[in-house]
Amino acid sequence: MSGSNELSRRDFIKVTTGIIGGFIGAVVGLPAVYYLIDPALQGGGKEAWIPIGKFEDMLLDTPYAFSFTRVQVNGWERTASSFGGYAIRKSDKPEELQILNSRCTHLGCTVNWNEEANAYLCPCHDAKFSKDGKVLDGPPPRELDTYPEHRITADGVIEIFFKEG
Amino acid sequence: MWNNIYAWLDERIGLNDLYVNLLDRPEPKTTWWNTLGSASMFLFVMQGLTGIFLTVYYTPSPDHAYDSVQYIMEGVAFGWLIRGIHHWGASLMVLIVFIHMLRVFFTASFKYPRELTWLIGIGLFLTTLGMGFTGYLLPWNQKSFWATTVGTQIAGTVPFLGDFTLKALRGGQDLSALTLQRFFAAHIWMIPGILAALIGVHLFLIIKHGESHFPTKED
């Protein structure tokens, strides 16, 4: 075969094996990668308006505690997660409500309003937040998060906008 | 540059020797029947890879096993493909290994100096059946539950040792969470470990002795 441009029988087998093997590898390998990273590619969670209480029950300048539970389906398992927060009424206008998320910005424990301390206290690492969520003491990197969108229904119930994930 | 890297590695690992001895070794005149061992090996690797991928989502617990398999089939991208390959590959592997064994038997390839290769091959066939037996329970559906009930019951009929064997297989008197868990452990760790070790020795012996030629009229 030397000196000839024709493919030898051996080389033909080698090349064919390589091509077919590569093809099979790609057909199985690429879906396998997709299979592994699929959960990371799932879109954001569901959205919902969650009622937190009647506007008339919220006292002026007093944190109004609320909590709610969302059930999320993760793969083959349903997990219930609790969320909560405080609504602080500033005036007669519902749109001026400040609605804080009670999840501590440090490591995610739940903060509680303490009347004596006049602050939200976190049980985990002694974080302290003022009534409107500013950091007073402790390790949190930023003030408490807020639920940015809320609305009032016809019968006076405040609902917050909630997006999973 | 690649030539330099290759030369450097070749001097230290002996890539060229490996290539010549593993892939370019002399063969007698062969037929397609001689490819069944390689086919078995390919299926073993395929089952290993798809099996590893399945454990990413599968849960060996009575509460979740069935749901997690349903999730693989319907919830995960290409889960049906990965499980499909593993499911059909399992049956195919038993079939191919068995035909491979028949071929070796009919061409008398088990004779001197290859008796040990043959004995290890029997071990490989039995461990392959063990993989099939333990894997069958894992989807935890009606069919697998009752097949394992029957299978372990059969083991229980062995004289003297039967009751012990049944309890050892089931992890107790009844088919339970313990059974599923130990079948899972056997299916992904113990039996594949044995299988891989036996394949290593089997391949070493094949390369050492070379393939046998088909018997002629004089043989």
Instruction: Show the tokens assigned to B25.
Output: 């070794």
Whether B17 is in a domain gets the answer no
Q: What domain range includes position B89? A: 34-209
B175-213 pLDDT tens trace = 999 999 999 999 999 999 999 999 999 999 999 998 888
Provide the shortest C-alpha distance from residue A80 to chain B (in Å). 17
- Write the class of the CATH domain A47-163: mainly beta
Across the interface, do A76 and B70 touch by the CB < 8 Å criterion?
yes
Whether B137 is in a domain gets the answer yes
Interchain contact A77–B (C-beta under 8 A): yes
CATH code for position B72: 1.20.810.10
**Domain boundary assignment for chain A:** 1-42, 47-163
Q: Is the pLDDT of residue A1 over 50?
A: no
Across the interface, do A35 and B79 touch by the CB < 8 Å criterion?
yes
Closest A-chain CA to B70: A76
Nearest CB partner across the interface for A32, out of B59, B70, B82: B82
For tokens 């370019």, the residue is: B24
B109-159 pLDDT tens trace = 999 999 999 999 999 999 999 999 999 999 999 999 999 999 999 999 999
Across the interface, do A35 and B68 touch by the CB < 8 Å criterion?
no
Across the interface, do B49 and A76 touch by the CB < 8 Å criterion?
no
Per-residue pLDDT averaged across A16-44, rounded? 91
Using DSSP's 3-state secondary structure scheme, residue A113 falls into: strand
Buried/exposed B81-92: b ≥16 CB within 10 Å, e otherwise: bbbebbeebbeb
Across the interface, do A31 and B49 touch by the CB < 8 Å criterion?
no
Closest A-chain CA to B56: A36
Per-residue pLDDT averaged across A130-147, rounded? 91
* B124 residue type, one letter: L
Per-residue pLDDT averaged across B26-32, rounded? 88
DSSP per position, B127-162: HHHHHHHHHHHTT-SHHHHHHHHHHHHHHHTSTTTH
Work out how many domains chain B is built from and give that number.
Answer: 1
Whether B25 is in a domain gets the answer no
Interchain contact B65–A (C-beta under 8 A): no
* Threshold 0.90, pTM exceeds: no
A93-131 pLDDT tens trace = 888 888 999 999 999 899 999 989 899 999 999 899 998
Whether B215 is in a domain gets the answer no
Burial of B117 (0-12, 13-18, 19+ CB in 10 A): buried
Whether B216 is in a domain gets the answer no
